[in-house]
Amino acid sequence: MSSASSEGSAWLRAMPVVFVLIWSTGFVVARLGMPHAPPLGFLAWRFGFSVLLFVAWVLWSRAVWPQGRAQWLHLGVTGVLMHAGYLGGVWSAVKLGLGAGTVALIVGLQPLLTALWVSLQGPTQRVQPRQWLGLALGLAGLTLVVLHKLGTGLAGAANLALTVGALVSITAGTLYQKRWVAPCDVRTASAVQLLAAWLVTLPLALLETEAVRWHPALVAAMAWSVLALTLGGSSLLYLLIQRGAATQVTSLMYLVPPCTAVLAWLMFDEPITAVMVAGMALTALGVSLVLRPAAKPAA
C-alpha cells in the first residue's frame, strides 16, 4: 500500500473522532456568544461569513459546482434543515433560558429517530438487534451525562418546541441528504447549503429587536463558529453522511454531550461526577455496538 493511500485511510478513520471533538464545542461557543447577540442575528452573520469563505475557496480551487437544478434544490433543502432549522432552534432555546442539559438530551434522541425511520424502510435497511442495543445504551449514557442539569426546572412550551423542532430538523436533513443528494464536492455543496440557510435566516433575524454587540467574546465565538464549526464540522458531517449509513453517522451525536461536559470542565471548571463518567462509558459502549461492522457469514 502506498504512503498516500495509507494517509488517506488514516484520515478516514480519524474523521469521526475529529467531527465529535469539533461538534462538541457548539455549546461552549453558545455560552460565549449568546450574551452579546440575538440567536438568529448571530447565525445570519455566521452563515454570511461562511458563504463568503466557501465561495472564495471554491474559486481558488476551481472546484466543480453541483450539476443540475435538482441537486441545487436538494442541497438547499438540506441546508435549511441542517443549518437554519437545527441551529436556529437550539440557539433560540438556549437564549430563551432552556438548560443546556435539556437541549442536549432532546437533540441527543436523533439516533433513535433515525434508526426508527430506517427500520421502517424495509428489510435491506433494517437496524440490527445489536445496533438497537447500542442505541439504547447510548441513550442511557447520554441521560446520565446530562441528568444533573435537569434539576434547574422545566422551560416553557415554546423553548421545548424550539428544541424538538431542532431535533426533527437535523434528523430530517440527515435522512434527506443521504437519500437525495448525489456525491459532489464538499466545498461547493456546503456553499449552496449555507446560502440557503442564510436566505431563510436573514429575514427572521431582521425581526429581532436585540442588537449584535461585537464584544471580544462574540468575535471569538463567531470566528470559531465559522472556521471550526461550519467550515470544519459541517463539512465533515457532509462527508460522513455520504460515506456511511445514516444510523452510524447519527450515533456519533451520542458522543457530543460527554465531550461537551469535558470541555466545560476544562474551560469553565464545571464538575464531572461519577454518574457522568458512568454515562460517558455507557455512551462509548453503545456507539461501538452501532458502528461495529456486521460479522461476515462463514464460507
Residue type, 264: A
Tens-digit pLDDT profile for residues 15-34:
777 777 787 788 778 878 88
User: Where residue 134 falls among pLDDT bands split at 50, 70, 90?
Assistant: confident
Q: Are 241 and 179 in contact (CB under 8 A)?
A: no
- Give me the mean pLDDT over the 44-55 stretch: 96
- Write out the DSSP string of 169-187: HHHHHHHHHHHHPPP--HH
Between CA 104 and CA 109, with CA 108 as vertex, the angle to 5 degrees is 135
Q: State the pTM of this model.
A: 0.79
Q: Where are the alpha helices (DSSP H) in the chain?
A: 3-23, 26-33, 39-61, 69-79, 86-95, 100-107, 110-119, 129-146, 157-180, 186-205, 216-224, 235-243, 246-251, 256-268, 274-291
Which among 129, 82, 150, 84 is positioned nearest to 110, based on CA atoms?
82
Tens-digit pLDDT profile for residues 247-271:
566 666 667 777 777 777 777 776 7
- Give me the mean pLDDT over the 58-70 stretch: 92
Q: Are 24 and 256 in contact (CB under 8 A)?
A: yes
CA distance 294 to 299: 15
Report whether pLDDT(283) > 80. no
User: Where residue 155 falls among pLDDT bands split at 50, 70, 90?
Assistant: very low
Cα–Cα separations (whole angstroms), residue 175 to 19, 122, 171, 241: 18, 15, 6, 9
Which among 113, 86, 78 is positioned nearest to 241, based on CA atoms?
78
Tens-digit pLDDT profile for residues 80-108:
999 999 999 988 887 877 666 667 667 77
Q: Which is more confident, 170 or 139?
A: 170
Q: Which set of grid coordinates corresponds to residue 299?
A: 464460507
pLDDT at site 202:
97
